[in-house]
Amino acid sequence: MKLRIMFILTLILTLLAAPIWAKNIRQDLVRAGTLEQVMSKNKLRIGFSTFVPWAMKDKKGGYTGYEIEVARQLANDMGVEPVFIPTKWSGIIPALLTGKFDIIIGGMGITPARNLKVNFSKPYEFSGMSIVANSKIAAGKVNLNDFNHEEVTIVARIGTTAASAAKKYLPKAKLRLFDDEGQALQEVLNKRAAAMISSQPFPEFQTLKYATKLFLPLAGKTFTKEPIGFAIQKGDADFLNFLNNWVLVKQSDGWLQERYDFWFTTQDWKSQVQ
Partner 1 sequence: MLPQQPSRWGRLDIILLSLLFVAIGYLGYRINAGLEYRWNWQVIPQYLVRHDPEAGCVPNLLLQGLLTTIRLSFWSLLLALPFGLLAGLLRTSLHLFNRLVGGTYVTLLRNLPPLVLIFIFYFFISDQILPLLNIGERISAAPEWLQHVLALSLAPVDQLEAFLAAVMTLALFEGAYIGEIVRAGINNIESGQWEAGRALGMRRWQLLRYIVLPQAFQRMIPPLTGQAISTIKDSAIVSVISIQELTFQGMELMAATYLTFEVWISVTVLYFLLTYSCSWLAGRLELRLRRIYTH
The binding site for partner 1 (CB under 8 A) comprises: 41, 45, 49-52, 56-57, 59-61, 83, 85-88, 91, 94-95, 98-100, 179-183, 185-186, 189-191, 209-210, 213, 273-274
**With respect to partner 1, which residue has the nearer C-beta, 61 or 112?**
61
In whole angstroms, the minimum distance from the beta carbon of 95 to partner 1 comes to 7
The Cα–Cα gap between 149 and 171 comes to 8
For residues 199-226, b (16+ Cβ closer than 10 Å) or e, as one string? bbbbbbebbeeeeeebbbbbeeebebeb
In whole angstroms, the minimum distance from the beta carbon of 115 to partner 1 comes to 21
Phi, psi values for residue 53, rounded to 5°: -100, 30
Strand-by-strand arrangement of the 103-104 sheet: 81-86, 43-48, 103-104, 231-232, 119-120
In whole angstroms, the minimum distance from the beta carbon of 29 to partner 1 comes to 20
* Residue ranges with strand state E in 5-128: 43-48, 56-57, 63-64, 81-86, 103-104, 119-120, 125-127
Which is it for strands 153-157 and 214-215: parallel, antiparallel or unpaired? unpaired
Q: Which residues contact 85 (CB under 8 A, 6 or more apart)?
A: 45, 46, 47, 48, 100, 101
Residues 202, 256 contacting (CB under 8 angstroms)? no
**With respect to partner 1, which residue has the nearer C-beta, 81 or 238?**
81
Q: Phi-psi region for residue 11, left (φ > 0), alpha (ψ -120 to 50) or beta?
A: alpha
**With respect to partner 1, which residue has the nearer C-beta, 100 or 167?**
100
In whole angstroms, the minimum distance from the beta carbon of 57 to partner 1 comes to 5
In whole angstroms, the minimum distance from the beta carbon of 157 to partner 1 comes to 9
**With respect to partner 1, which residue has the nearer C-beta, 89 or 246?**
89
In whole angstroms, the minimum distance from the beta carbon of 91 to partner 1 comes to 7
Residue whose C-alpha is closest to residue 57's, from 13, 268, 48, 239: 48
**With respect to partner 1, which residue has the nearer C-beta, 180 or 204?**
180
The Cα–Cα gap between 238 and 44 comes to 15
In whole angstroms, the minimum distance from the beta carbon of 213 to partner 1 comes to 6
**With respect to partner 1, which residue has the nearer C-beta, 91 or 128?**
91
Q: Residue 174: beta bridge partners?
A: 153
In whole angstroms, the minimum distance from the beta carbon of 86 to partner 1 comes to 6
**With respect to partner 1, which residue has the nearer C-beta, 125 or 181?**
181
**With respect to partner 1, which residue has the nearer C-beta, 163 or 240?**
163
